[in-house]
Structure 1
Amino acid sequence: MKTAAEPVTRRHAADAKAHDVVLQVRDLAVDIRTHRGTVRAVNSVGFEARAGETLALLGESGCGKSMTAKALAGIMDPVCDLAGGEILLNGTDLAALSSKERLKFAGPGLGIVFQDALTALNPVYTVGTQLGEAFRIHRGLNAKQARAEAIDLMKRVGIPEPESRVNSYPHQFSGGMRQRILIAMAVALNPRLLIADEPTTALDVTVQAQIMQLLRTLREEGQMAVILITHDLAVVAEEADSVVIMYAGNVVESGPVSEVFADPRHPYTKGLLESVPLNLERGEQLNSIPGSPPELHDIPAGCVYQSRCPLVQDICRAERPALRPVKGPVTHRANGANSDADAGAAAPRPGRTAACHFSEEITNA
């Protein structure tokens, strides 16, 4: 009995830990200074990332996903300013810290994987030197000890013959191997939060699957919270537990992936899902969202999606909808009367939000 009980106990402990909130983002705002004036690139963005789970930031290019990630990591370009909000990592507000104070969180608190490993890695240093740097800085290891840790990291992420390849340079590795090295650098100090910004963009399909499997394994082993930034709906459906849909720097919908994809409550989310080609034959027309996202200098006063929305009405042009809880569908009895249970079915769904004046009408649109 003892042998059978131990896995259950460990599983319950892991389940409890998996629900811990690692990151809370509240009203995050980022401004960009341009020659035409200051524009708001990220506007009042908020979400939570939990241990052992993956949160996806989803949207078209230019919607603010990567800018949000850079703000979280504290690596924004000089023309960008953190205009407001809180970034609570294990209870510490990173937004309130100086650049020097934030450095101690880079590694043990937060790691980031960029989409272009060749650009992110330094071409004049061996991968062993770059992998060992975190151990030298944060743990005070000497060169020999740091090299041993680098070899262990390379083994951990599946790089063959690490003892010899630890002395190789980034250009001597394939794209998939470089991405593994970048991941190894990000998880070297077992961070509580890992940000993966389009980690498989430049890789072929087979290598993409291997990299996502590696991220999944590392997340489960270390009970990290993972923020996955992507525009690939298939990756989100396969890898993420929850999703935040962004458009023009704003969150327009959020919730568990299974619920959001099965029952979208914002026209933009529905448009993205309907753009996925399913069972199409040669010559058939692909669905797409007409138009393009607004320029940051020309964000409309009302709903940010109004110029592309098939449900737009006067209230959408005059008033920007707030991000509010989504109500579930109301079910009816056979005789048409609603029971008390039916009324409860229309209550707000836990974790589901949408910024649309007509979120409850979208299901039937």
Structure 2
Amino acid sequence: MSQSTIEKSASTATPVLEVKNLDVDIRTPRGVVRVVSQVGFTARAGRTLALLGESGCGKSMTAKAIAGLLDSVAHVAGGEAILQGQDLNQMSDKQRRAVAGPGLGMVFQDALTALNPVYTIGTQLGEAFRIHRGMNKKQAKAQAIDLMRRVGIPEPETRVNSYPHQFSGGMRQRILIAMAVALSPRLLIADEPTTALDVTVQAQIMDLLAKLREEADMAVVLITHDLAVVAEESDDVCVMYAGNVVEQGTVEQVFANPTHPYTKGLLDSVPTDAHRGTELSSIPGSPPELSKIPAGCVYQERCPFAAQKCRDERPALRTTADGQQAACHFPLTSLAASIENPGGTQQSDNTTRTGAHVLSEGA
């Protein structure tokens, strides 16, 4: 995390995207299923917000709902996605297309699928300039070459005439990023941008995103299940489980002092030097089917602290400390003060240990 990003605190950075009470439903043969429920978060200029959680928790569905890219079987059932004062959910398709590019850019996880195999890279990169800026083909091609140079693609004057299959996976991902930032959007959504890339290329891609964010003072929403990427690259984190937000705050807050049992379970499952020589922890069970979400807390079936109140009542997202929030009736900060384990040591001994180690050891 750069010094300039650290200095731009969550309290002083300008909100670019505010998501409030977002609901997304999908139609299935067994009826309508709610896959995203009451999701809310704020992405701020110059900062990266990570949407973190297991596969199937609703991260990508949330991103697609914001970008207006939901499949035909899915639709936004409620809530707001306010981008610089305008609610994207109230826009027509034509209005959304006008916003796409200058207002919002998106990087997909599978570059080979996202790029059109029958058009050159120059044609695809130049499309935004032709549509939104009214440039001719020659002008758009010049802009495409400049974009390729900006994202570190060698010999852009020659490669601009190449096709997607003629690039490596890392270079294709750079091209997707170039397309997303072509019109200097205020918000960039990156959906698992380093999937299927080797570790060295992953680091290069994340460094590129951080560089572009700082240059343009963009807000970045990073969708990932990788705790190490979150610890190294993000400023804020929103933890999702079964389509719900269960905890959010700055990375320092959440990783050093997780207050929701699910967040703590995720952090405890990361191999670190602190766990060397001991059996690695895991979260028992599996996430619930989205068509069978329990009436109370969505995490109750896997939570070691679940009580009757958790089965009867869905916990609201409440502020626990310093702006950190958790959707839990019994957040770990309060459990630590009152619960002792059979060995006689307080639960707090394990409550904050893992997150601090993840940050200090780089996960």
Give the match's secondary structure for 1:307: coil
Report the equivalent of 1:207: 201
The equivalent position to 1:355 in structure 2, one of 310, 323, 327, is: 327
Q: Which residue of 1 aligns with 2:107?
A: 113
Alignment-mate amino acid for residue 361 of structure 1: S
Counterparts of 1:1-365 in structure 2 under 5 Å? 19-279=13-273, 284-327=278-321, 349-350=322-323, 352-359=324-331, 360-363=333-336, 364=348
| Residue segments in structure 1 that go unaligned for 5+ positions in a row | 1-9, 328-348
Counterpart amino acid of residue 153 in structure 1: L
* Local SS of the residue matching 1:245: strand
Deviations 1:279-318 (A, max 9, x none): 2788853211111100011000000000100001111111
- Structure of larger gyration radius: 1
Report the CA distance between 1:99 and its aligned residue. Answer: 1.3
- CA, structure 1 residues 94+144, in 2 after alignment: closer, same or farther (shift >3 Å)? same
| Aligned residues with identical type, % of pairs | 71
Q: CA RMSD in A?
A: 1.9
CA distance in 1 between partners of 2:135 and 2:264 (Å): 52
TM-score (norm 1): 0.88
Cα gap change, 1:261 to 1:125, in 2 (>3 Å)? same
Contact 1:265 1:362 in 2 (8 A): no
Corresponding position of 1:330: none
Is the alpha carbon distance of 1:222 and 1:17 closer, same or farther for their aligned partners in structure 2, counting shifts above 3 Å? farther
Uncovered stretches (5+) of structure 2, i.e. residues with no partner: 337-347, 352-363
Give, in whole Å, the separation in 2 of the partners of 1:59 and 1:15.
Answer: 24
Spell out structure 1 runs of 4+ moving beyond 3 A. 13-18, 280-284
CA gap 1:73/1:284 in 2 versus in 1, 3 angstroms: same
CA displacement, residues 228-277 of structure 1 (integer Å, 9 cap, x when unaligned): 00000110011111000000000000001101100001000000000001
Structure 1 146/71 Cα, relative in aligned 2: closer, same or farther at 3 Å?
Answer: same
Report the TM-score, using the length of structure 2 for normalisation. Answer: 0.89
More divergent stretch after superposition (161-170 vs 281-290): 281-290
AA at the equivalent of 2:238: V
Aligned residues, how many?
Answer: 333
Q: Deviations over 1:151-196 (max 9, x none)?
A: 0000000000000000000000000000000000000000000000
